[in-house]
């Protein structure tokens, strides 16, 4: 298996633009997680899905952030409009159960 795939690996955009991050989880994994990592705040869970259904989105910072999982093999995290404080590394992770999560390589987002 190729592992969790994220795209793009790097994204540079200007304030106010829409940003879409993509994730393909490992086949057969029922859980999908979106995290944000910054030096100041560390690793933060934004939202997670079970069988394509959002279970906990309490970590989504504000309405500018939205996440979808239209099917078992694809998820998106969208920021609209983006702001400089959204600059971070965004990780997607998937798991078969809650005992081990497999992380993707991350998307480094820079908002100018």
Partner 1 sequence: GDSVTQMEGPVTLSEEAFLTINCTYTATGYPSLFWYVQYPGEGLQLLLKATKADDKGSNKGFEATYRKETTSFHLEKGSVQVSDSAVYFCALSDTNRDDKIIFGKGTRLHILP
Nearer to partner 1, 74 or 103 (CB): 103
In this structure, is the dihedral angle defined by the CA atoms of residues 27, 28, 34 and 37, taken in order, positive or negative?
Answer: negative
Where do runs of H (alpha helix) occur along the chain?
none
Q: Which CB atom, from 83 or from 96, has the smaller least distance to partner 1? A: 96
In whole angstroms, the minimum distance from the beta carbon of 31 to partner 1 comes to 8
Q: Which is nearer to partner 1, 59 or 81 (CB)?
A: 59
Q: Which is nearer to partner 1, 15 or 98 (CB)?
A: 98
Residues that bind partner 1 (CB under 8 A): 4, 33, 42-43, 45, 48, 55-56, 91, 93, 97-106
DSSP-assigned states of every residue in 43-75: EEEEEEEETTEEEE-TT--STTEEEEEEETTEE
Residue 77: phi and psi, rounded to 5, are -125, 120
Residue 11 CB neighbours (<10 A) = 19
> Taking the complex as a whole, how short is the minimal distance between the CB of residue 81 and partner 1, in angstroms?
27
**Smallest distance, partner 1 to C-beta of residue 98, A:** 5
């Amino acid at each position: 298996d190729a592992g969790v795939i994220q795209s793009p690996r790097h994204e540079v955009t200007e304030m106010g633009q829409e940003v879409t991050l993509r994730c393909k989880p490992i086949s057969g994994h029922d859980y999908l997680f979106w995290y944000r990592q910054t030096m100041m705040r560390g690793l933060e869970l934004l939202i997670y899905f079970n069988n394509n259904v959002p279970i906990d989105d309490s970590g989504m910072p504000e309405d500018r952030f939205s996440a979808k999982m239209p099917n078992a093999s694809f998820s998106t995290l969208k920021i609209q409009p983006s702001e400089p404080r959204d600059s971070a590394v965004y990780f997607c992770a998937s798991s078969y159960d809650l005992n081990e999560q497999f992380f993707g390589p991350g998307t480094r987002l820079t908002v100018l």
